[in-house]
Amino acid sequence: MTEPKTLSEQKHEAILRAAADEFQEAGFQSTSMDRIAERAGVSKRTVYNHFSSKNELFKAISKRLLEHAHLVTVYPFDHEETLERQLRDIGRREIELLSSEDFTKLSRVMLAECIRSPEMAREIFSEIREGESGIARWIRQAADAGRLRVDDPVMAADQFTALIKAFVFWPQLVADAPAPSELAGQAVVDSAVRMFLDHYRV
């Protein structure tokens, strides 16, 4: 049974939610700690007790967004199922995440701030690399099972997701393109799966 959250933990979550909403609506530069405190229903002092600066709060939200992206695609390798079927399921999950409005909005804020602050970009990217994504873990398990020939599962995972993001994520992020239809999204996944397996399948 999950332990109920303490009042401090509840305030911490409220601050993160409020900050995410503010960053989405106003952007990083225009967001103030006062507005975040007001939206979270806490004092400004409470916000600073949890996060020493707006930069630290932004990094915490970025880290949570990336952790969520990793968790969404957690998919244990199934020795009885075909590689195609498993990769298509992973690809569909990836598209669902990348197509979500909240993910796109926060990603746009993250990208703009990382361009403004290369130091922050390096910190965020370093944290991304500290954890193995669900896709990389699946690839590692498939390689251990002798089904894929992969020396670097993290690089292979980046390659697979890049084949999807080229059509589903980046056009929406930088050009405000509409999300692809379900049929178009499936075509993107099918193509990515074929290209990936053509290169890595044993």
- Residues 180, 98 within the same domain: yes
Tell whether 17 and 28 lie within a shared domain.
Answer: yes
Average pLDDT on 161-187 reads 93
Residues 19 and 63 in one domain: no
Kindly state the average pLDDT of the residues 146-171.
95
Q: Regarding predicted confidence, which is higher, 192 or 117?
A: 192
Q: Which of 34, 52, 70 is the last residue of a domain?
A: 52
126 and 28 within one domain: no
Query: What are the tens digits of pLDDT across the range 26-71?
Result: 888 899 999 999 999 999 999 999 999 998 998 888 888 887 777 7
Check residues 188 and 111 and name the one with the higher pLDDT. 188
Q: What is the C-alpha separation between 60 and 103, in angstroms, rounded?
A: 15
User: Which residues contact residue 34 at a Cβ distance below 8 angstroms, ignoring those fewer than 6 apart?
Assistant: 44
pTM of the model: 0.81
Q: Tell me: do 2 and 88 sit in the same domain.
A: no
What pLDDT does 2 receive? 57
Distance CA 176, CA 190 (A): 24
Q: Give one DSSP letter per residue of 84-123, joined into a string.
A: HHHHHHHHHHHHHHHH-HHHHHHHHHHHHHHHH-HHHHHH
Residues 61 and 142 in one domain: yes
Q: Do residues 29 and 73 share a domain?
A: no
CATH code for the domain of 126 = 1.10.357.10
Q: Which two tokens stand for residue 12?
A: 């911490």
Are residues 32 and 119 located together in one domain of the fold? no
**pLDDT above 70 for 1:** no
* φ, ψ (nearest 5 deg) of residue 49: -65, -30
Q: What is the Cα–Cα distance from 27 to 22, expressed in whole angstroms? A: 7
Q: Indicate the number of domains in the chain.
A: 2
- Residue with tokens 């993290």, as numbered in its chain: 154
pLDDT at 180 exceeding the cut of 80:
yes
Do 109 and 137 belong to one domain? yes
pLDDT tens digits, 116-130? 888 877 877 776 666
Q: Are residues 32 and 66 in the same domain?
A: no
- Do residues 61 and 40 both lie within one domain? no
Domain enclosing residue 48, as ranges: 1-52
Determine the pLDDT at residue 122.
83
pLDDT over 90 (residue 113): no
Average pLDDT over residues 81-93: 96
Q: Tokens for 185?
A: 């999204």
pLDDT at 9 over 80: yes
Overall average pLDDT of the 74-92 stretch: 96
* Cα 85 from chain centre: 23
Extract the runs of DSSP E, i.e. beta strands, from the chain.
Answer: none
Average pLDDT value over all residues in the chain: 90
83 and 109 assigned to the same domain? yes
Rounded to 10 degrees, the C-alpha dihedral 144/146/150/151 comes to: 60
Beta carbons within 8 Å of 174's beta carbon, 6+ residues apart: none
Pick the closest to residue 143 from 188, 197, 95, 98 (CA basis): 197
pLDDT computed for residue 108 by the predictor: 85
Residue 179: predicted pLDDT: 87
